[in-house]
Every structure is written in C-alpha cells, then in structure tokens.
Chain A
Amino acid sequence: MSALLEVRGLAKRFGGLVATDGLNLDVAAGEIHALIGPNGAGKTTAIGQIAGEIRPDAGTIHLAGQDITRLGVPARVRAGMTRSFQITQVLMNASALANVALVEQVRQGHSFRLWRPAARDERLLAPARAMLERVGLGARADVAAEDLSHGERRQLELAMALATNPRLLLLDEPMAGLGTTESAAMTVLLAALKQEVSILLVEHDMDAVFALADRITVLEGGRVIAHGTPAAIRADTAVRDAYLGAA
C-alpha cells in the first residue's frame, strides 16, 4: 500500500542557504510521524513546502496518490491536508466558538451567502461546539480568543485545524510554550486523534515525540540523517551526536 503522504527529492535553497536538501518522507495512513532535528535543521521550511506556503525548487509531493506539488494552500486543504501553526494564528477578537464556526463555514463551502446572519446559524455552531468539546474547550466556547490562556489557544489552534476534517494533519510544534501539565494533556489529546487522522508532527518536546510517534525522521542541515521507530532512533549514535546529546 502506498503512503498517504509521499515526499520525494524535495529541495529548497534561500540564496546560499540550503534549507531542504533532497528530502524524502513517507507518512502512512493512521500513523503519527515525527519530524525532529536541531534548530535550523529545516523542519519549518519543510512543513511550509508540504503545506504549500513555500514553493520548492525541486521534488514532488503526493497526497493519497494525487500530485499536489503545484497546488496552493487552500486547494491542499480541500484535498485533505491541513496545517497548524507554531505561533497561534486565530482571530483574536472573535470567540473560540466563532473561530471554529468560521472553519466549519469554509469547509461547507457556502461563504457567498450575503444575507442571513452567520452568528446564530446552528448548522455552523453545532459542529463547532462539538469540536471544542473534543479538544477540551467546551466550557470556554464563548470566551474571546484574546482572553484565552496560551494553552487554551493552542487547543483552539488544533480545533481549527481539525475542523477542516483533514486526512493528514501537519502539526508545527503543538506543544510550543506549554507547561508540563498542559503538554501531557495535549499528548493525550493527540494520541486519541490517531484513530481518525494521520499526523506529521514537528516537535521539540522529546517526551511527547517518543510517547506519540510511530516513526521518526531526523533532519539536520536539510537532509535526513536517520529514520525509523522511536527505539531505533534512540539507539542511533549519529542522532545522539547531532541532536539528542547525552539523553
């Protein structure tokens, strides 16, 4: 069976800096695949190219067999692949519920309605409430995003990505800035998602990575220096030298 996401020979150069250097990556259906590496290894650039925000110089990207290399960001989302952001990108003055309802509206594809009020439309609000329940924000639905705590905003970020109903989630550091307890809660949440959606996870929190990942790919200088199961990566001497240190 072919992989859900197939990245082949992806390359990107910014002037003299080689950010991605012949990256090959497979994410199988139903797996959590972690992409790790030291700062500057090219993880965020790689996610940017896979999501469609950065155009690669060379290489191909296939999602479920479909060539998506030339598609823009919105088309890739409609094809079934959604990213979340390292720095939370939500509409700050809108409530958590309104943020997710907006995603639901875009997913339903009826945004050229100019007459009926959107804010009381149960066809949008009901699924949005259910999604907030799922990520544990049910009780905070009516709070403005700017008044949510950092951890709650990370949950909202995840809810918005999930509400697009993707087959593959690209999660860019979902644990960024979270405390120990919050990270543990997010780990439980992501583990529960695995039943329905495949995940490509970029993360610095190694506890979370080793708890969640089925397979791990290690980047350094834009190249893959190792990939395999968590146990194999932990044992890999090259990875230890480059990244994991004395861990």
Chain B
Amino acid sequence: MRESSRQIFVLVASFALLAALPWIAGAVGRPDLVTLGSQACVMAIAAASLDLLMGRTGLPSFGHAAWLGLGAYTVGILAFHARDLGPPWDQWAVQAWAVWPLAVLVPAALAAVIGALCLRTSGISFIMITLAFAQMFFFLFVALKTYGGDDGLTLRRRSTIPGIAPRDDVAFFYVCLAALVLVLLLLRRVAASRFGTVLDGIRQNERRMMAIGLSPFPYKLAAFVLSAGIAGLAGALHVNLFRFASPDLLHWTMSGELMVMVVLGGLGSLWGAMFGAAAMVVLHAVLAQWTEHWQIVLGPILVAVVLLARRGLWGALGGK
C-alpha cells in the first residue's frame, strides 16, 4: 500500500489547512471554528477506528459508539471522584497521562469480552448483537443517577497536560490534531503489517483463509479490541473538548453516524474516514444553523455521494 502523488498532495494540503485553522479562525473573526476543528479531529479518530473493523476486517459493528462513550465516561467519572481521593490519587485522577490511557484500556478490556461473544456471529446477527450491547451501555449510563443519568456528566476542568493551560482551546485543538495524526500513522502501519494483511484476507475470503490454515477468530478479536481502544481515546478527547459526557455519546444514532462517516469517506480507505468525519461535522454545523431539520438536507447529500463517488470522498479527492 503506497499513496499516489495526488493522494500525498491531498493529505499534505488537508493537514496544512487543519494546522492553519486557528489563524484562519482568527482572521475571519470566528473563534468557534477552532472547536469545530477539534470536533472534526476527534470524530475522525473514532471513524478511523471503526474503519479498521468495517473497511479492513469486514466486520460491520453497529455498536461503536459504546467505546467512544466508555472512553469519555472513564475520564469523566475519575475526575468526578478526584476530590474524594487522597493524595496522590486526587492529582492522578485528573492527569491526562494517567486517565487517557485508562480511557483506552477500559473500552479495550470490555471489547475483549463482548467481542468474544459478538464474533461468534456474522453478517446481520453481528450487526444486531453489537447494537444490542451498545444499547445496554447506553441504558446503563442513563440509569446511573450518580453520574448525571440522562442529563450527562460535567467535567469541571480539562485533564491536566503539562505546559498546556486547561482553558486554551487553540492548544487543545493541536492536542486533538496530534492525536489524529498519530492514530492515522499507527493504523496505516498496522494495515501494511502481517496482521493487516491477514485482516484483508479475512474480509475478502474468510473461507480461503481457513483453507490455508488460519483460524480467523483471534485476529478478528484483536482488531475489535484495537478498534475499541482507539475509539476510547476519541471519547477521552471528546469529553475534554466539551467538558461534558452524555449518554447520547453511546446512543445507537451515534454508532450510525460513525458508520455514515466511514462510508462517506470511503470504506476501507484508512484516510477516508477523516474526510467523512470532517464533512459530517461541518455539514451538521452549517445546516443546523440554517434549519433545525438539517437531516432532511443531509440525507440527499449522502445519497448523492454514495451513488456518484463509489469509493467515497477519498476516492473522489485522491483518485485511484
């Protein structure tokens, strides 16, 4: 797998544009654009992690929002309890270096158990069972009144990162952008590795993979766990961005939105998820200003992209 020069140009231009976003926002007098950019980066991380499952391994998980939400609540709940804890735990519970890895590990560990159950099925059953587990988590957090129930949980202040002021939105945008770049480079590396080659094989022809002596289950489970962990990181960034975690983050409509981002960007294209996520976030912001029934406009746009650009935005931008 190697990008064409046109694709490299598109990527460099896109990341240059993102990196310059705070200046552009300042120049046009719209500081809220920085938050929009952070949101696009965060959703891009979540969508890219789902693409590892849907696009590369051929596992259409309809419960990916659960991992996003669990990552967010891990950070939120630890911060919520920080004051009750004695030193040094009270400090650690709000430090990014301590709680963000936990926001990766908690969803990943749960995904190891839930994935082991879900992966006994395939096709429509897999879609339904992942949806069911995610809805279970959704109702769990709605029921947990201690953590706000369906009102959600407020994060008093952002996780502490040495050298970065907690209220500096521009600095936090660069944290999100750096996380996105690291995640994409990691996923690209994984895609080209022996492990990624096996995932490709499982998606394209699982019967053949078994016939050459490969048991697909451990590889599918590993992809499921890795994908959940990365979505958990997106969740940790999300709760920090808005200083708020809500059960809506785990709702099935969020899982659906993530799937739309992946398909819109170009299924299995790795870089595409980023463009799908950015397009969704921006369209949502623009259309919601215009009408509260913004999804009526979004629908036809999605249909047009899926019909006209078969390989999604990435296919249209980057060519073959």
Residues of A within 8 A of B (CB): 51, 53, 72-75, 77-78, 82-83, 85, 89-94, 98, 102-103, 105-107, 110-119, 121, 160-161, 163-164
Contacts and interface: CB of A to CB of B under 8 A. Distances in A.
A78 B210 CA distance: 10
27 contacts: A73-B211, A74-B214, A75-B215, A85-B208, A89-B211, A91-B200, A91-B205, A98-B197, A102-B198, A103-B212, A105-B194, A106-B214, A111-B194, A111-B197, A112-B194, A112-B218, A113-B194, A114-B189, A114-B194, A115-B189, A115-B190, A115-B193, A116-B193, A117-B192, A118-B193, A163-B212, A164-B212
Given A74-B213, A90-B205, A103-B212, 10 more contacts: A72-B210, A75-B215, A77-B213, A85-B208, A89-B207, A91-B200, A102-B212, A111-B194, A111-B214, A160-B212
B213 A82 contact: yes
**Interface size of B as a range:** 20 to 34
B208 A90 contact: yes
A106 B198 contact: yes
B189 A106 contact: no
B256 interface: no
B222 interface: yes
A118 B192 contact: yes
Given A90-B205, A90-B208, A91-B204, A112 B195 contact: yes
B1 interface: yes
Interface string B202-240: 001101111111110011001000000000000000000
Contacts of B190: 114-115
Contacts of B201: 91, 102
B196 interface: yes
A111 B102 CA distance: 27
Contact of B197 (A78, A90, A118): A118
